[in-house]
């Protein structure tokens, strides 16, 4: 139940946001609830010896954890509470930019409405009716929960002389050439030659694999 949505930044760059569905978000919420419960239990034990003063301090701690826990984590930890971090999720604005204070506070204040009448029934209904899986807080704040992009390790390419790319390639075409170069050793010479033949208009009819490997080296910044 996850979708991919393309957005264009003010600089004209196309981004693909992988929207998180209700299952992943529910699991993240469960982890956050358990984390807050553990903190409250740890605080309740020593504060119980302080009588009414301790109870008052415990209520203050409960208020802070309930209302400021998600906001502070979203603002200082790249839009992710511990639960979202564990599931590889984070909160961003609709245009893919980082969430700001106003949006974070608003979306979390409306958690009360999303939780009505119990068990987040209103929030779940809103998520299921929204194409971007937004609860009421997300709709009001203009935010969305997405999967964080993982940083890939540098590609390991076979040895080849860098060959300048003379045709315009979009990001997917560039990624395809790099993927080809990374996998040639696993495929073997025969399979690599067969696949390189699909790009004859780009690389010519001879030494196609060598040409593609050189283009991959060029795309990686080698000159």
pLDDT tens-place string over residues 84-99: 999 999 999 998 889 9
Question: In which residue are the tokens 């050793």 written?
Answer: 185
Question: In this structure, is residue 159 part of a structural domain?
Answer: no
What is the pTM for the complete model shown?
Answer: 0.64
Number of domains in the chain: 2
Residues 20, 100: one domain?
Answer: yes
- The answer to whether 199 and 173 have CB atoms below 8 angstroms apart is no
Query: Nearest-CA neighbor of 107 among 80, 71, 83, 55?
Result: 71
Res. 2 pLDDT band, cuts 50 70 90? very low
Domain that holds residue 184: 171-219
Tokens at 16, concatenated: 């693909």
Candidate from 50-64, 111-125, 151-165, 204-218 with smallest mean pLDDT: 151-165
Separation CA 18–CA 71 (nearest Å): 22
Question: In this structure, is residue 116 part of a structural domain?
Answer: yes
Question: In this structure, is residue 163 part of a structural domain?
Answer: no
Residues 91, 200: one domain?
Answer: no
Residues 31, 136: one domain?
Answer: yes
Question: In this structure, is residue 38 part of a structural domain?
Answer: yes
């Amino acid at each position: 139940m996850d979708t991919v949505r393309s957005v264009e930044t003010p600089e004209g760059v196309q981004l693909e946001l992988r929207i998180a569905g209700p299952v992943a978000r529910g699991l993240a919420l469960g982890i956050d609830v358990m984390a807050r419960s553990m903190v409250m239990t740890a605080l309740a034990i020593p504060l119980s010896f302080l009588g009414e003063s301790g109870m008052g301090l415990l209520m203050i701690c409960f208020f802070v954890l309930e209302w400021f826990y998600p906001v502070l984590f979203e603002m200082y930890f790249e839009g992710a509470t511990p639960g979202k971090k564990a599931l590889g999720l984070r909160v961003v604005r609709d245009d893919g930019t980082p969430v700001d204070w106003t949006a974070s506070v608003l979306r979390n204040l409306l958690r009360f409405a999303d939780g009505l009448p119990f068990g987040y029934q209103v929030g779940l209904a809103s998520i299921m009716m929204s194409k971007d899986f937004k609860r009421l807080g997300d709709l009001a704040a203009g935010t969305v929960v997405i999967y964080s992009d993982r940083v890939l390790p540098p590609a390991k390419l076979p040895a080849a002389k860098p060959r300048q790319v003379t045709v315009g390639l979009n990001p997917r075409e560039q990624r395809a050439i790099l993927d080809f170069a990374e996998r040639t050793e696993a495929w073997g010479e025969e399979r690599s030659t067969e696949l390189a033949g699909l790009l004859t208009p780009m690389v010519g009819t001879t030494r196609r694999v060598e040409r593609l490997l050189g283009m991959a080296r060029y795309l990686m910044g080698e000159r």
